[in-house]
Amino acid sequence: MIVFPNCKINLGLNIIRRREDGYHDLETVFLPIPFTDVLEIISSDKTELAVTGLPVNANDNLCSRAYYLLQKNFPDLPPIKMHLHKVIPLGAGLGGGSSDAAFTLQLLNEKFKLNLKTEELIDYALQLGSDCPFFIINKACFATGRGEILQPINIDLNNYKFLIVNPGIHIDTKWAFSKVIPQGRKISIIEIISQPIESWKDQLQNDFESAVFAAYPEIKKIKNDLYDQGAVYASLSGSGSSVFGIFSKEENIQYTGNAKYFNKFFTFN
């Protein structure tokens, strides 16, 4: 069985407070993006993971951890061979590893008829990472808590196209969180995105930008370049390093950036 774990971007990201358990309460809007890895699972004599594409540590991979997490409660889960073809870059703010883990849980549930309900899959996913539960739902969601309290939302983006730019820089999420000073905001992200996109530039913020841009001015330049190209809104995704711009579909974009970047256009119709 083969699935295609997709990535996400964040429309705004507010770090509200540091919790006693060491995590942070936040709010954001997760938006699924049709840029994918490839994951295949087949029955085998022993459980192993093969990785192709971008380099990944196969010895401590979320796909393997997802399998062994389920095996604790399903000891009869048979051995499998997983093949992960990695396309979504690491440390990019796109949630690729979290997506791989969530899709592994769902694929194992389907393949071996474990009969886990969505709520149970979300619980397993949260044990693997704060972003993982989103990929179980995999629809536009307003997220709070650690990112696991998810409220599906309707957001009409059919008249826009997204350009996602990745500069090939790996941003460590723990480092990024350590640099952020939590702060509450008077206006919630869910209120901001209900307004016209043209108003987002002045209100919709990602709290990771200050630290990431200070450490990596070349990432800040990407955001500025996207606005220069006519983006109605541009932002860092997650803790970075990817930056996205939202453009009118009629806009003719010539942005190429440095040759080491990947630039991908996506639409939602």
The answer to whether 33 and 164 have CB atoms below 8 angstroms apart is yes
Q: Distance of CA 160 to CAs 89, 156, 163, 225, 253, Å?
A: 24, 9, 10, 18, 12
66 φ/ψ sector (left φ>0, alpha ψ -120 to 50, else beta): alpha
DSSP state of 58: G
Longest dimension (CA), the chain: 57
The DSSP code sequence of 149-180 is: EEEE-----TTEEEEEEE-S-PPPHHHHHHT-
- Encoded tokens for 109: 């549930």
CB atoms within 10 A of CB 60: 8
The answer to whether 265 and 162 have CB atoms below 8 angstroms apart is yes
Please report which helix (H) or strand (E) contains residue 27, including its range. strand 24-36
Measure the CA dihedral 13/17/19/20, to 10°.
160
Q: What are the catalytic residues?
A: 8, 131
The answer to whether 110 and 1 have CB atoms below 8 angstroms apart is yes
